[in-house]
Structure 1
Amino acid sequence: MSRLSVPDLESDAGPSGQVHAQIKKTIGSVPNTFAAVAAHGPAALRAMLAADTPLAAGSLGKSDKEVIKLVISEAASCDYCVAAHSYLANLAGLKPDVLEQILEGQPTGDARRDALVGFVRKLARTSGTVSDEDFAAIKAAGYSDAQLVEISLAFATTVFTNVFNRINDTELDFPAVA
């Protein structure tokens, strides 16, 4: 059970209920992490969702965005986010064996994806400090300057949910990852 209580937001006409209703209308259900943030900080959830808007319109593919979020979540040991982003990465076309390779730090056989995984893992381990060699490697893999901005934004929004879920011990509503 999560640490923060989440009241029934279905009939809440206030800011929390409005955010809850908007998410439910958009994606059909409200993940537990969004429900908890909406219940206690609707403005924070709106800000988080607004920060994801440029990512949706950006040039990174869905699978790249989920790989970024998965790698960061694994580095933060956020079981909730690892489960969520594994599920979403699978929906974006990544096969379970590839997800397992990513989580185990093994090569996936896709040089561009492996460069992204290595770069994001380095960002997570070094609080964003990368060497000239790390920068050259991600650029050599074909990632543009604009995509480096998108990688940074995906990193930042994921850290928020990782930290929140670790504080809340958010109950899983996605398939658990072993």
Structure 2
Amino acid sequence: MINGFTLLDATTAPTESAQILNEVQAAWGFVPNLHRVLAESPAALEAYATLWGIAEKTSFTAQERNIAYLSIIYENECTYCMAGHTNLSKMAKVNPADIEAIRAGRAIADSKLEALRQFAAKITRQRGVVSETDVAAFKAAGYTNQSVLDVLVLAATKLISNYTNHLAATPNDDFMKGAEWTAPGKLHAIA
């Protein structure tokens, strides 16, 4: 861990965070280190937990949601989230070849999912500044205006987690063993 961040739990976190940590524990059976870092700010933890729940309500299937998440994570170079979402994607029955392709920055075979991968990556890389051609290509693959906006929900969710993990150097959780990832290294801290 860096920058003075620590891993809090329900006994050391602010009261408002402790309640959310207890809910995460009940739902997941453990509290991920990301949540333990976020607990320092009840607002940040609530924002992430709320967005995570809202992301489940988007127009995307579990597989599509995970394809988009992995693509966003790749662009943000978050090693913690890539390890976690690799295993979450497996649990959501995402094609293992697709997971490995995204982790390597390569295209995936399914044309509709590839359009989603490309669009989520471009939205992230270009901070939402995409062309009409980009949007049209995404829609031509079978997505809608709702899908375009739903990608933003996923990107916002990952912005909180990816940036937190960069700031704190959050250590991987035990369930991530075997899914560790080395980022391509395009992002560098500005001195």
TM-score (norm 1): 0.90
User: Structure 1 residues 13 and 136 mapped into 2: Cα distance closer, same or farther (>3 Å)?
Assistant: closer
Map of 1:177 onto structure 2: 181
Q: Superposed, which structure 2 residues align to 1:50-61 within 5 Å?
A: 50-61=50-61
Map of 1:149 onto structure 2: 149
User: Structure 1 residues 21 and 117 mapped into 2: Cα distance closer, same or farther (>3 Å)?
Assistant: same
C-alpha separation in 2, matches of 1:15 and 1:170: 21
User: Structure 1 residues 46 and 14 mapped into 2: Cα distance closer, same or farther (>3 Å)?
Assistant: same
User: Structure 1 residues 35 and 12 mapped into 2: Cα distance closer, same or farther (>3 Å)?
Assistant: closer
CA contact (8 A) 2:63 2:89 kept: yes
Q: Give the CA deviation at 1:13.
A: 8.1
Q: Give the CA deviation at 1:123.
A: 1.4
CA contact (8 A) 2:66 2:94 kept: no
* Residue 27 in structure 1 maps to residue 28 in structure 2: yes
* Residue 140 in structure 1 maps to residue 144 in structure 2: no
Deviations 1:122-165 (A, max 9, x none): 11221111111111100001112112111111011101111110
C-alpha separation in 2, matches of 1:171 and 1:96: 24
Map of 2:108 onto structure 1: 108
For the residue of structure 2 that corresponds to 1:57, the secondary structure is coil
C-alpha separation in 1, matches of 2:18 and 2:141: 44
For the residue of structure 1 that corresponds to 2:56, the secondary structure is helix
C-alpha separation in 2, matches of 1:108 and 1:25: 35
CA contact (8 A) 2:73 2:162 kept: yes
Q: Which segments of 5 or more consecutive residues in structure 1 lack a partner in the other structure?
A: none
Map of 1:4 onto structure 2: 5
Q: Which segments of 5 or more consecutive residues in structure 2 lack a partner in the other structure?
A: 183-191
Map of 1:96 onto structure 2: 96
C-alpha separation in 1, matches of 2:41 and 2:122: 31
Which has more helix, going by share of residues? 1
Map of 2:38 onto structure 1: 37
More displaced stretch, 7-16 vs 159-168: 7-16
User: Structure 1 residues 26 and 69 mapped into 2: Cα distance closer, same or farther (>3 Å)?
Assistant: same
Map of 1:75 onto structure 2: 75
Q: CA RMSD in A?
A: 1.8
Map of 1:63 onto structure 2: 63
Amino acid at match of 1:9: A
Amino acid at match of 2:27: T
More displaced stretch, 156-165 vs 50-59: 50-59
Amino acid at match of 1:83: A
TM-score (norm 2): 0.85
Amino acid at match of 1:33: L
Deviations 1:111-130 (A, max 9, x none): 00000111111112211111
C-alpha separation in 1, matches of 2:58 and 2:167: 30
For the residue of structure 2 that corresponds to 1:87, the secondary structure is helix
CA contact (8 A) 1:33 1:170 kept: yes
CA contact (8 A) 2:55 2:157 kept: no
Amino acid at match of 1:126: Q
